[in-house]
Amino acid sequence: MTLFRRRTALFAVAAMALAAAAPASAEIKSLEIIAPANPGSGFDQTSRAVQAALNEAGLASGIQVLNVPGAGGTIGLAQLVSGQKRGPALLTIGATTVGAILSNKPPVTLNDAEPVALLLKEYSMLVVPANSDIKSLAELTAKIKANPSSITWAVGSAGGIDHLIAGQIMKAVSGDARKTNAINYAGGGEQIASIIGGHVTVGVGGIPEFATQVQSGKLRALAITSGERLEGLDVPTLKEQGVDVAYGTWRGLMGSKKASEAEKKELADTIAKMVETKAWKDSLARYGWIGSYEGPEGYAAFLKEQETMMKTGLADLGLLK
């Protein structure tokens, strides 16, 4: 082999080695994730966890999280559906979104968007201010029985999972969910401030949103809404305290129907890879979320089941028009 050929071969081998060592280029560029609630909310936390996991794994680049609060997530849904932004976009949704659509009947629904993936499930916690005279769930239920309408509930959006949980507790204890005196908050920060300030009797919200305030001693946890106790959390369930209610929320991602079939597949495949990353699994552990991944088809079936279940809960509350 001539010197020139040997050098050419060496350069080729070196180039191949560098290509193998270099990180793969991001598959999706300029991705926008719409979080349909204020910063600090469950929607916001989920959106930013997706952003971080995609970034760390090199699955997407130029990812922006856009907070579009209001109307239980339907304002964010309308923005996704309108498709004003050029480039790929995702919307984080949950049980609150389904409830808001059923109760408010907005001009756009989930049928106008494309299911991408179910990501996680999460349970809620009942809390009172640390200085409340209510020290236990038994004391709360006694007050409900004595005067149901006197109990004010700090919940998220009207028709959301927090509202449904409050209604189901009221139904189980007093026999009438329509006596639920709920005060709605667009974001977790406002809700927590109201509970700590003693402006409401009791609050219902996601465990991750309340956990820090409980640990700091500003809030007192009365119960969680899972069917069984959760590992690492020393709070009893509603069921084990005699209130037969077990409700959970969830969060997933929707995409635009305007995307091409190739773009839809790319988004779905990218999220499928993301849920296997260490960064995503670390977020699940950090926030106490339960990983429950489903791809587009399984997620679409899940959404239909949720709609049926939530219609019943909303009818109990008298929120269906």
Question: What pLDDT score does 40 carry?
Answer: 83
Contacts of 109 (CB under 8 A, 6+ apart): 77, 101
What the block records as the tokens of 44 is 């916001």
Q: How many CA atoms lie within 13 A of 254 on its CB side?
A: 31
pTM of the model: 0.77
Nearest alpha carbon to residue 296 among 264, 260, 258: 264
Taking the C-alpha atoms of residue 62 and residue 64, their distance in angstroms, rounded to an integer, is: 6
Question: What pLDDT score does 158 carry?
Answer: 78
SS3 55: helix
Per the listing, tokens 């690492």 go with 232
Question: What pLDDT score does 6 carry?
Answer: 43
Please enumerate, as own/partner, the contacts of 266-271 that have beta carbons within 8 Å and a separation of 24 or more. Answer: 266/27, 266/28, 266/88, 267/28, 267/88, 267/90, 267/116, 268/116, 268/117, 268/295, 268/296, 270/27, 270/28, 270/54, 270/59, 270/60, 271/50, 271/116, 271/117, 271/119
Contacts of 215 (CB under 8 A, 6+ apart): none
Instruction: Tell me which residues of the chain have a pLDDT lower than 50.
Output: 1-24
Question: What pLDDT score does 250 carry?
Answer: 94
Nearest alpha carbon to residue 83 among 49, 108, 51, 47: 108
Cα→Cα distances 247→121, 152, 177, 273, Å: 11, 20, 15, 29
